[in-house]
Structure 1
């Protein structure tokens, strides 16, 4: 399977795509509300998932310090298993909080360690981009699988649905364990060329990159989180059509990522990152323009939203590699810092978007997307300039 860029430990990103991207939004909120009977408690429990992102640098540094990359992946998948089992058998609010926290820790651990297996190995640029592409494609394959799974088991009682998902994560853990130890042995903690004494200091260019990632996350969060509401209110588009676009996006991302992989080794990753940000700006401004014209066509806003998600997939593909090249820190700690910036950006994005929609009007959210992406693009240009010096 290696010649096809596929490893058994890809069951981890596959499971992440299934659980985090599909099963979490489809099943978890309604289950929490069913148990607690309170939207406030539901929101607090779900926030436990997001808050876990703040622990990403700690997780990464600990894993690097003790070379626990293999066990960490197994731990993350095991957190998924227990989380789904608790959701299925929960009877109290406390159990909802515990299950949500385990789900968050599982996702953050997997997201921190997965790219490390590739970017911290002694690979040439072409092989590295090839493996990163395959890994990200497995995330989307997991999302497609989970969509089909959720449809096939929707007739079952909710607790049985969660138990089946828990069993699925057990199989994923067993599959991952088949070669994760071998993959962890290939990780070179000291891959960076900087002297070890330098690793105690932050690289200013890497810090600028994290700031850009945080600001860009404000843009993508507003588009993805508030998008369905905006489309329904501003363009009278039914949620069913929006859900269909999400499914099509995951399938289309498989092709998009493969196309990017064929060109990534010919150009700098930061340039591809900048192209993705330009795509954010173009889509947001186009959607903003559509709100000012009298149009009843639903397909155009949906196509633009689909295009936005493709740009987002491309950005998610290149970010780990850029972080690895800019950082003087250890590999998993670097990915943890990247996730920390992403988490902060998500929190800021949700807050800024909600305030903007309330204080101004719904269509102003598209301006938040374009403005934050423009700021991120300026910083990305600086990062690219410093990297090429």
Structure 2
């Protein structure tokens, strides 16, 4: 059965802007143009802290049935962020607007796109549908990362690279206008019946799950979104090499998402989620151990590539886990999940920015290693509560 739908290309803009745009363009440009690690941390925190609005976005979308309209707003917000970055120069408030625009676009899409998939498919096919959706996110990373790496070697300016990213986001926008996702329907009766039975018993597990996701973002946001600049400063890895590493890793991710989706379909999403967290630990602790050892630059690149695989599995698994534990309606559930993700992203990157300002980039590696230990403990508690 073919589960892919053309509108899944909307998720491509998340890969282009949130992953490549931030990691290879936004954070290096802030450091290059302003030299301020604190500004970088503030901007990154804004990207995440927009997640406080995620439950409101989900609630509004469900209440007024404006899921498709808000999706279009999100895509145009991504495009706006690249345009603002193009003209930002050394003006601090422009970078603040860039971070806000990225936050609006990414959070809104990550609330709505999984909800579209979960609503349109039966429970048996949901994991496969989510894997297809996130394959398009990594397809965006493959294309954008390859193009940025290539034109960087050819000597193109940052502004020309940003124009390429704008063109890719425009493809997502055009596709959604031509082939929009199906409308989400909510049934009050079905929600009431579910809340009255199994979901009411799992509310505590859902809360602990959200806290686990929040803390996990301290590790993943800093090692992925600011990973290239961190390994450049700590391990002397050229950003052009990071671009190709990001693209190569995204190709592997697209391939591995298929068996990961089948695994979730057969054994459940929790297995995939825990495998992702185990890879988080390998990456963060591996980088921590590699500091000041003179290891080959290939080692941190490979660890960051592993992190990308883990994040793709993590992102694919958690919408279904949230849906199974939450007592709320579809988009509101995903909004609460994004509240935890984006809040963790914002808090985690803000702390990292302050650490960079005070103690340099190595302190972020230490911070990420400590964060994953706390995450693993909370994940174990979630599993125990889920079984009760």
Paired position in structure 2 for 1:327: 326
1:283/1:304 contact within 8 Å kept: yes
Q: CA deviation at 1:184?
A: 1.6
1:14/1:142 contact within 8 Å kept: yes
- Range moving further from structure 2, 359-368 or 307-316: 359-368
Paired position in structure 2 for 1:378: 377
Q: TM-score, normalised by structure 2?
A: 0.82
CA distance in 2, matches of 1:41, 1:357: 11
1:144 aligned residue (142, 145, 160): 142
Any residues of structure 2 matched to 1:18-57 within 5 Å, and which? 18-28=16-26, 39=36, 47-57=45-55
CA distance in 2, matches of 1:231, 1:28: 16
The reply to whether residue 210 of structure 1 matches residue 210 of structure 2 is yes
Paired position in structure 2 for 1:60: 58
1:16/1:139 contact within 8 Å kept: yes
1:280/1:369 contact within 8 Å kept: no
Q: CA deviation at 1:12?
A: 0.8
CA distance in 1, matches of 2:262, 2:50: 35
Alignment RMSD (CA, Å): 3.8
Gaps of 5+ in 1: none
CA distance in 2, matches of 1:286, 1:172: 36
2:23/2:227 contact within 8 Å kept: no
Deviations 1:226-245 (A, max 9, x none): 64455445544444433332
1:120 is paired with a residue of what secondary structure?
helix
Q: Structure 1 residues 148 and 290, CA, compared in 2 at 3 Å: closer, same or farther?
A: closer
**Larger Cα Rg: Structure 1 or Structure 2?**
1
Gaps of 5+ in 2: none
Paired position in structure 2 for 1:344: 343
Any residues of structure 2 matched to 1:1-389 within 5 Å, and which? 3-28=1-26, 39=36, 47-85=45-83, 97-98=96-97, 100-125=99-124, 127-150=125-148, 165-166=165-166, 168-180=168-180, 183-185=182-184, 192=191, 193-195=193-195, 203-224=203-224, 227-228=227-228, 231-232=231-232, 234-291=234-291, 294-353=293-352, 365-389=364-388
CA distance in 2, matches of 1:281, 1:50: 22
- Range moving further from structure 2, 298-307 or 52-61: 298-307
- Range moving further from structure 2, 270-279 or 42-51: 42-51
CA distance in 2, matches of 1:290, 1:45: 28
1:10/1:138 contact within 8 Å kept: yes
1:63/1:69 contact within 8 Å kept: yes
CA distance in 1, matches of 2:87, 2:236: 39
Q: CA deviation at 1:63?
A: 0.6
Number of paired residues?
383
2:120 is paired with a residue of what secondary structure?
coil
CA distance in 2, matches of 1:284, 1:71: 39
Deviations 1:8-54 (A, max 9, x none): 211210122112222344445677899x9785777656654333222
Q: CA deviation at 1:224?
A: 3.0
Deviations 1:213-261 (A, max 9, x none): 0111112234335644554455444444333322221111111211212
